[in-house]
Chain A
Amino acid sequence: MSSTAVSTPRGLRVPRWVAPAGIAAGFAAAYLVFRGTGTLPHDSEAPQFAAVTELREWIDDHRNDNPVFLYFLNYVRLFVGGVYGAFHAALTALGWPGLIGVTGALAWLAGGRRIAAAAVAGFCSFGVLGLWESSVETLALVAAAVLLSLAIGVPLGVWAGLSRRVHRTVTPVLDVMQIMPTFAYLAPLALFFHIGAPAGTIATMIYAIPPAIRITALAIQQVSPTAVEASASLGATRAQTLVKVHLPLARSTMALAVNQTIMMALSMVVIANLINAPGLGSDIILGLSRAQVGIMLPAGVAIVVMAMLLDRMTVAVARRGPHSRIGRARLAGAGALAVAGVALGFALPREWPRALTVDLAAEINDAVLWAETSWYGVTTFVKDTTSYLLLNPLEGLFTSAPWWLVAAAVLLVAWRVSGVRPALTALGCLLAIALLGTWEHAMRTMTTVAVAVSVTLVVGLALGVAAARSARWSAVQRPVLDAAQTMPAFVYLLPALALFGTTRFTAIFASIVYAVPPVVRLVEEGIRNVPGPVVEAAVSAGSTPGQLLWKVQLPMARRAILLAANQGIVMTLAMVVVGGLVGAGALGYDVVLGFSQRTDFGMGFIAGVATVLLGVMLDRITQGADRRTSPHQRTVT
């Protein structure tokens, strides 16, 4: 849209830094003069919160007699619950040998013997870890959510792919859905769909639908127009063209949509446990609330294994050419495996044999305790230094500054970086946060995000630059980044919790680890994409490598870096909010509290809304990169 390079009039010969420095000085002076006035301190009994709590009480009382619930919402709940129940019953009915056999067979059909072996081993590991039942529940929840997401997402995506107008309408909605931290929609869902597996499935769907729609639309748009025209000129109807041309040609990209939907669903199932969705999430939350990594780690491993297997299987399907056929040997092998599994299912006991489980909780807890005690000095030093030198002063700054000063700063920065319209949106979000009564906590959360993002960017830039300059380093780093991006977000909480206990710093550490990989990737790509002739020209003009980097490559990769910052912020915010579970305060904790104490439901609900507003605001501020790609979207190759 608009490039917003500010250029000073030539005649004046004022150095470029004068205007920003002057503005900054002005803000500093205003802060010093007005500090402590115009602050909006947090009041947990604010009327806004009380109103929502009352609304919840009203809904609870009328859940069974209000027509909207009686004839619509409860039916949705019932239907989704039924789908989950059906999957769960089917998977349980197979028994563990049957499920392992059938999964192995599917993997064989999808990608061959190797993936089949991995699938069998992976599913056995669920049993060995003692998590068979939870894993089946998670699998059923993911299956239900993915099926329903695709049932809604694929038709919508096809429509959006065919019609520009639909595409334009859907895109902003999807944008918001994807910026929205997962935590935020749990409270409204609990309000309308109560708690339990159905509500958990719906929460997972909301998170998983956007990639289904987006990628399907992309797949349809990418179908070559010549093929479409050819089909139309041969007299095919629109429906025929869709079924015979669009869909077959878009097939492999659409398999990626399935892949992404599954991945999204898997990373959501844990958080969905906060509203009582069953599955592995409950083991993780149990571990969090007992501060025992020993309980969480096996469940975390099981989810990662599940994610990797499903990822491999769907990617294998996506990679296969449209005309490849499954060989007879493969079919026979897969069939034999499935039949053997199901047959064994009848012969063997229904429950995973206890003799085959390994309980590592005690050992892991001991290891964590060892790490905690022996690294206590270092971790405490890091934590306390960050808290006293960075977090506390910055938090003090944000919370003691008058609200209008913060608003002005946000407006100016967003204007400078992204343009007028995003700046106004950002300002609107900020004012809404103030009106909702969540100003102080939003400022605290913003502090945490700011600290985490700055560290993420420093680390990400360093690693990205290193990778762009050394092919070897890039090759070493790539598989690590790939693996890191397949993992569900909360997995990063485990090491953080083990090292730093429950504090704000834990959330910061986890979000840095979570957000660094995409930042590295974007920075590396940005620098690599700097045109070769430019680099050569700079080198032949005698630039040192340092000059080349600072004067040529980084400025030219500005857009990629801005995009990296944008993604980093969105991801960090999502993680910092989840950090409410492990000691990060402010908005994330309010959301957690809203689920824990009925009287604080309103505060939690509004904190969720405020988180979304904060996310949109931070997104708009850093939106300067012209071509928007959706946050969270992984690059799958």
Chain B
Amino acid sequence: MRIRLLAGLLALGLATACGGATVETAPSATAAEGSASAPAPAGTVKIAINPWVGYEASANVVAYLLRNELGYTVELPEIKEQLAWEGFETGDVDVIIENWGHPDLKKQFIEEKRTAVEAGSTGNKGVIGWYIPKWMADEYPDITDWRNLNKYAGLFKTSESGGKGQLLFGDPSYVSNEAALIKNLKLDFKIVTGGSEAALIKGAQQAQAQKKPLLFYFWDPHWLFSKTELVRVKLPEWTEGCDADPKKVACDYPEMDLDKIVSTKFAQTGGKAYELVKNFSWTNEDQNAVADDMTNGGMTGEEAAKKWVEANPAKWQAWIPR
């Protein structure tokens, strides 16, 4: 009896072992397969949350529609930009709702590993740049040219910048050419990481209100531009291919067409949820309105999304798959 049981177990073990375990093998793979062919309306969609409020605005609006119009369960796991791409493979992430370029990741995960696919533009135009508060541009008119930054480096010194000018950076996971730019343009500056979008916003607001010098990394679309006057510093103009080698970048950031990335599995089995994600497209103003409500209007992401959805039915009804 015992031996037979053992033999059975062994055979079972061998059967599974022969296939080997890949990363995608989920613990409950067999249970999931039955339902995977025809996703029930009450499926689960995992939209990664990257750490800036514009992204959250888009994610929350899509999540709101998925929940209330299509009856999906939506999870919004907090995952940094690049880790989220890996999440496609492990099943931790279905959707990245606002992707900023990342040609290297696209090559690796879309072309080589085929764990992700593009799902079209979000309609948002994104551009990263270096900014200063407006009072500085008024006081030192030539400061907006990168060639003169070294002349003013002394103004930007802080206790953290080690005798050089401070360039305030955001979350460590953000898209960044800063180190290469400082090195290749021979700027007398040091990157100081504020650690978050909030640190950048607070810095910018204080700098303009109290007339303190500040040079910082920032991006558009952002609600802050309608509240605080900021001026972009001109770096050497972007040309096609000038940022191909991340170590040799010596030019400004390009204007990017922000897009959506989804896992291959979600594209194949996501049904209506995938359709909605693919159709989702709105303007920078739309996103700024929702982000502003979330940051300054004291609303949760869900409340802000609800407000926008109720005010703009014509826009989102076009996204709902029929």
Q: Which residues of A approach B to under 8 Å, CB–CB? A: 44-45, 61, 63-64, 67, 70-71, 74-75, 77-78, 81-82, 85, 194-196, 273, 275-276, 278, 282, 285-286, 288-292, 362, 383-384, 387-388, 392, 501-504, 581-583, 585, 589, 592-593, 595-599
Tally of contacts, chain A with chain B, CB under 8 A: 119
How many angstroms between the C-alpha atoms of A63 and B81 in the bound complex?
21
Most buried by A among B89, B112, B247, B298: B89
In the bound complex, residues from chain A placing their C-beta under 8 Å from that of B20 are 67, 70-71, 74
**Do A74 and B193 touch across chains, with their CB atoms under 8 A apart?**
no
In addition to A282-B78, A589-B172, A597-B173, 9 A-B residue pairs with Cβ atoms within 8 Å of each other are: A64-B23, A64-B24, A71-B17, A74-B25, A77-B23, A195-B87, A286-B78, A501-B199, A597-B172
Instruction: Tell me which residues from 240 to 299 in chain B have a Cβ below 8 Å from any Cβ of chain A.
Output: 246-247, 298
| Chain A proximity of B152: nearest CB distance (Å) | 22
| Chain B proximity of A60: nearest CB distance (Å) | 8
Q: Report whether over half of chain B's contact residues are helix, strand or loop; otherwise say mixed.
A: loop
Most buried by B among A275, A285, A290: A290
How many angstroms between the C-alpha atoms of A85 and B172 in the bound complex?
31
> CB < 8 Å: which of B82, B86, B196 contacts A596?
B82
Known interface pairs A74-B23, A195-B87; A44-B179 also in contact (CB < 8 Å): yes
In the bound complex, residues from chain B placing their C-beta under 8 Å from that of A81 are 27
Known interface pairs A85-B28, A278-B77; A290-B51 also in contact (CB < 8 Å): yes
In the bound complex, residues from chain A placing their C-beta under 8 Å from that of B173 are 595-597
How many angstroms between the C-alpha atoms of A508 and B152 in the bound complex?
31
**Do A290 and B27 touch across chains, with their CB atoms under 8 A apart?**
no
**Do B83 and A75 touch across chains, with their CB atoms under 8 A apart?**
no
B44 adjacent to chain A (CB < 8 Å)? no
List 18 A–B pairs whose Cβ atoms lie within 8 Å, in order of A's numbering.
Answer: A67-B20, A70-B20, A70-B21, A74-B23, A77-B21, A194-B89, A195-B83, A286-B51, A288-B195, A289-B51, A290-B51, A291-B199, A292-B198, A384-B159, A501-B199, A502-B194, A598-B105, A599-B246
B208 adjacent to chain A (CB < 8 Å)? no
B160 adjacent to chain A (CB < 8 Å)? yes
Contact code string B145-176 (vs A, CB < 8 Å = 1, else 0): 00000000000000110100000000111001
Q: Which residues of B approach A to under 8 Å, CB–CB? A: 17, 20-25, 27-28, 51, 77-83, 86-87, 89-90, 92, 104-105, 112-113, 159-160, 162, 171-173, 176, 179, 193-199, 202, 246-247, 298
Q: Report whether over half of chain A's contact residues are helix, strand or loop; otherwise say mixed.
A: helix
How many angstroms between the C-alpha atoms of A582 and B160 in the bound complex?
13
Closest to B48 in A: A276
How many angstroms between the C-alpha atoms of A377 and B162 in the bound complex?
22
> CB < 8 Å: which of B27, B80, B197 contacts A595?
B80
Known interface pairs A276-B77, A503-B160, A593-B172; A289-B27 also in contact (CB < 8 Å): no
How many angstroms between the C-alpha atoms of A598 and B247 in the bound complex?
14
Most buried by A among B25, B159, B194, B202: B159
> CB < 8 Å: which of B23, B77, B105, B197 contacts A282?
B77
> CB < 8 Å: which of A273, A276, A387 contacts B92?
A276
**Do A70 and B22 touch across chains, with their CB atoms under 8 A apart?**
yes
> CB < 8 Å: which of A44, A286, A388, A592 contacts B159?
A388
Closest to B89 in A: A194
Closest to A79 in B: B27
**Do B159 and A276 touch across chains, with their CB atoms under 8 A apart?**
no
| Chain B proximity of A277: nearest CB distance (Å) | 10
Closest to A285 in B: B78
Known interface pairs A74-B22, A194-B23, A276-B87; A583-B195 also in contact (CB < 8 Å): yes
**Do A589 and B77 touch across chains, with their CB atoms under 8 A apart?**
no
How many angstroms between the C-alpha atoms of A289 and B198 in the bound complex?
8
Closest to B29 in A: A78
